[in-house]
Amino acid sequence: MVFDSKAFLDALFSNVFFLPAVTTLGVTFIAMAGAMILGFGGALAALSRFAALRWLVQGYLGFFRGVPVLVQIVFWYNSLPVLTNNAINLPALVAGTLALALNEGAYMTEIIRSGLTSVDPGQREAARALGMTKAKALRRIVLPQALAVIIPPTGNQFIAMLKTTSLLFAIAVPEIFSTGTNIYSQNFRYFEVLLVVSIWYLVLTALLTAIQKVIERRFAPRKSRKLDALPAMEHG
Amino acid sequence: MALVEITDVHKRFGQQEVLRGVSLSVNAGEVVCLLGASGSGKTTLLRCINHLESIDRGEIKVADELVGYLRGPDGKLREEKDRETSAKRARIGMVFQRFNLFAHLTAEENIIEAPVQVLRQPVDAARRHARALLATVGLANKANHYPHELSGGQQQRVAIARALAMEPRLMLFDEPTSALDPELVGEVLESMRRLAQSGMTMIVVTHEMAFARDVADRAIMMADGQVVEDAPPALFFSAPAHARTRAFLARLLEKQA
């Protein structure tokens, strides 16, 4: 095989990937934001004392985790207009982001639910005994402790989502991968172009990983400042 | 007048009837110890007083108010709004067997959390009050420590300070020394003893017979979800009227021998 370094360098330093990279990042953040809101609501419903809400969540989880996300993407873009007689005809970017958010919301529901249940029920009980309402006990006592459990897997989901956005090429959203497919379908330099596409994804995932590290450190369980300042052994 | 008025309270968990018609009244300033074997319903009764558990029948009044319920026009009890119940709970302190200090907050932050968030006290004033309370439980130097950096006895004393920061009119203790290593029990009982001397109304579920004998105004024996004996400790421990109490005390003596 001959490596066409000119095609590679042209693609690497071409500004055609810049806007698609912004699109990829934008879709990732919006879909994850939507998924986290859905996941929070889903987690509360899953832990609700009302059985109907719990069943609703089980149905949501079962469906959205069971159907391939590519199928869901094509459904929202191509099938929904047909089903609704064109009453609902979403632009590709909107349909794609919505599909990703709804699918990811199922996973975030499980992550947030397990975070909330990881907090000792005695914490909530103590908060309630001190006169906090349910909402305040959740916001001030349970959630801050649950975040330590919720944040690491959420960071992973973020990175997974960044890569999953490449599926939106199927409905012609101008993100990184579909931009690459446009280029190699003209010059046939598949390897060189896919290498450039991969470099873009690697740079973006490295960026997200760095952000993840900072946030995880911020929400790690805390120690008293006094002990931090002391050497490992503490006596007296 | 009685501060706590418990009338014919029934409570079941599934098939299990845990409280079977408990009536009990506690006057302001009294220290009452609830004794009895595990499963006798004493912890459940305590948790019903601040409505951490619902009740199936009867009523519980604290300072002449129902906690967790409203009396409807038909005379039946209905669940009250969360906000109303929470406001009443704010005046009832509770200390748990497992301490339940907020793990993400320092000792001082644990103490000021509810005064600031529930009573809307200014942070500075709450902080000063917290420091004073920590001093009274002998932990003035632990204000900035997180719970996992404290011993069980220290955590429980912070938990007592946290409850007192709300200036409660009633304190409930749910086996406050049962989860402690034996050498740490004394420091917690000492804090409770001083609280009793200050005139606080206290209902204490405990297995510490010496505490009941020395500090309580009344010792109450519970068995099978009912109150079987209610007497001053002097009488309770020397001349128990009920056979269940005698058997309970005999078992304890055996254990200690």
Residue A202 touches chain B, beta carbons under 8 Å: no
Residue A71 CB partners (closer than 8 Å, separation 6+): none
**Interchain CB distance below 8 Å, B82 and A134:** yes
Predicted local distance difference test score (pLDDT) of residue A230 = 45
Q: Is residue A75 classed as helix, strand or coil in its secondary structure?
A: helix
Average pLDDT estimate for B136-140 = 94
Degrees to nearest 5, angle at CA A28 with A26 and A30: 65
Q: How confident is the model at residue A7 (pLDDT cuts 50, 70, 90)?
A: confident
**Interchain CB distance below 8 Å, A223 and B104:** no
- What would the pLDDT profile of A151-176 be if each residue is shown by its tens digit? 999 999 999 999 999 999 999 999 99
With a threshold of 0.90, tell me whether the complex ipTM lies above it. Answer: yes
Predicted local distance difference test score (pLDDT) of residue A224 = 63
- What would the pLDDT profile of B89-124 be if each residue is shown by its tens digit? 999 999 999 999 999 999 999 999 999 999 999 999
- What would the pLDDT profile of B187-241 be if each residue is shown by its tens digit? 999 999 999 999 999 999 999 999 999 999 999 999 999 999 999 999 999 999 9
Q: How confident is the model at residue A212 (pLDDT cuts 50, 70, 90)?
A: very high
pLDDT > 90 in chain B, percent: 91
Chain A: residue whose CA lies nearest to B162: A130
pTM of the model as a whole:
0.88
pLDDT > 70 in chain B, percent: 99
Predicted local distance difference test score (pLDDT) of residue A223 = 66
Residues from chain B that touch A223, judged by Cβ atoms under 8 A, are 146, 149
User: Which residue of A123, A136, A227 is in closest CB contact with B100?
Assistant: A123
**Interchain CB distance below 8 Å, A126 and B117:** no
**Chain B interface disruption, residue of A123, A125, A130, A226, most B CBs within 10 A:** A130
- What would the pLDDT profile of A71-104 be if each residue is shown by its tens digit? 999 999 999 999 998 888 999 999 999 999 999 9
Residue A126 touches chain B, beta carbons under 8 Å: yes
Predicted local distance difference test score (pLDDT) of residue B255 = 75
User: Which residue of B83, B102, B106 is in closest CB contact with A224?
Assistant: B106
User: How many Cβ pairs within 8 Å bridge chains A and B?
Assistant: 83
Residues from chain A that touch B118, judged by Cβ atoms under 8 A, are 130-132, 136
In chain B, domain spans? 101-168
Predicted local distance difference test score (pLDDT) of residue A225 = 55
Predicted local distance difference test score (pLDDT) of residue B76 = 85
Residues from chain B that touch A115, judged by Cβ atoms under 8 A, are none
Average pLDDT estimate for A30-48 = 97
Please, what CATH class does the domain formed by A5-225 belong to?
mainly alpha
Q: Does the pLDDT value for residue A221 go beyond 80?
A: no
SS (H, E, C) B202-256: EEEECCCHHHHHHHCCEEEEEECCEEEEEECHHHHHHCCCCHHHHHHHHHHHHHH
Predicted local distance difference test score (pLDDT) of residue A117 = 97
Average pLDDT of chain A is: 91
Residues from chain B that touch A144, judged by Cβ atoms under 8 A, are 104
Predicted local distance difference test score (pLDDT) of residue A111 = 97
- What would the pLDDT profile of A168-198 be if each residue is shown by its tens digit? 999 999 999 999 999 999 988 999 999 999 9
Residue A13 — φ and ψ, nearest 5°?
A: -100, 10
Residue in A172, A170, A166, A186 with CA at minimum distance from that of residue A10? A186
